[in-house]
């Protein structure tokens, strides 16, 4: 069985914990409880039949512990970098986090997914989908998804896309 360690990164309040909670337990909470750091384990059978044991590290989003953040990045196999479509600042933060990951890993060949969460808040949209699609394709060279942790839209797909991307990166090594 494959062991995969995933880290969820993104500004505070973009919905990292909500995405993880929706994926792990099918539960959405409207309260905002800032996370320090939490680790979850999940078994997932991919459509190809392979079982994966995934460890998901839900990070706090604040960088009180840069050394810890670097260690988390070093030891991770894949990254979910989340922003919120109603928050342009969080999109900028996502770019910074992606740069940090590339620097720490020392390569751009990293399993990574760009996620624009809170797609249900389209009336308050500050990040255009086109802009994100282009950044993901041309800069990050990774899959992109808009999700709603609230309505469980595309949440499972994040993990599928990431595991697929992990296999592609492995084959490129």
Q: Which one of 28-36, 95-103, 130-138, 157-165 is the stretch in contact with ligand GDP (CB under 6 A)?
A: 28-36
Q: Is residue 71 a contact partner of residue 106, using CB atoms and an 8 Å limit?
A: no
Task: Identify which of residues 13 and 133 has a Cβ nearer to Mg ion in the complex.
Answer: 13
Q: Which of residues 9-38 bind Mg ion (CB under 5 A)?
A: 16-17, 35
Q: Is residue 85 a contact partner of residue 37, using CB atoms and an 8 Å limit?
A: no
Rule CB under 6 A: is residue 38 a binding residue for ligand GDP?
A: no
> Binding residue for ligand GDP (CB under 6 A) from 4, 7, 9, 17?
17
Q: Is residue 122 a contact partner of residue 88, using CB atoms and an 8 Å limit?
A: no
Pairing of strands 37-45, 78-84: unpaired
Per-residue mark of binding to ligand GDP, 55-94 (x: CB under 6 A):
------x---------------------------------
CB of 18 to ligand GDP, least distance (A): 3
CB of 159 to ligand GDP, least distance (A): 16
Q: What are the backbone angles phi and psi of residue 110, rounded to the nearest 5°?
A: -125, 130
Q: Which one of 44-52, 68-76, 105-113, 115-123 is the stretch in contact with ligand GDP (CB under 6 A)?
A: 115-123
Nearest CA-CA partner of 7 in 74, 53, 89: 74
Q: Is residue 168 a contact partner of residue 44, using CB atoms and an 8 Å limit?
A: no
Distance, in Å, from the CA atom of 34 to the CA atom of 160, rounded to the nearest integer, reads: 26
The binding site for Mg ion (CB under 5 A) comprises 16-17, 35
């Amino acid at each position: 069985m494959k062991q995969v360690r995933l880290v969820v990164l993104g500004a505070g309040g973009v919905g990292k914990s909500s995405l993880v909670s929706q994926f792990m337990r099918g539960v959405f909470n409207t309260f905002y409880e800032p996370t320090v750091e939490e680790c979850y384990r999940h078994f997932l059978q991919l459509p190809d039949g392979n079982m994966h044991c995934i460890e998901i590290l839900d990070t706090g989003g604040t960088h009180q512990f840069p050394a810890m953040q670097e260690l988390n990045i070093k030891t991770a196999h894949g990254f979910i970098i989340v922003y919120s479509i109603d928050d342009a600042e969080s999109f900028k933060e996502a770019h910074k986090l992606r740069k940090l990951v590339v620097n720490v890993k020392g390569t751009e060949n990293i399993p990574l997914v760009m996620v624009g969460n809170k797609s249900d808040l389209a009336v308050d949209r500050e990040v255009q989908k086109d802009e994100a699609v282009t950044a993901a394709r041309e800069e990050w060279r990774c899959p992109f998804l808009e999700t709603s942790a609230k309505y469980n839209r595309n949440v499972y797909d994040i993990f599928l896309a990431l595991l697929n991307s992990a296999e592609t990166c492995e084959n490129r090594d």
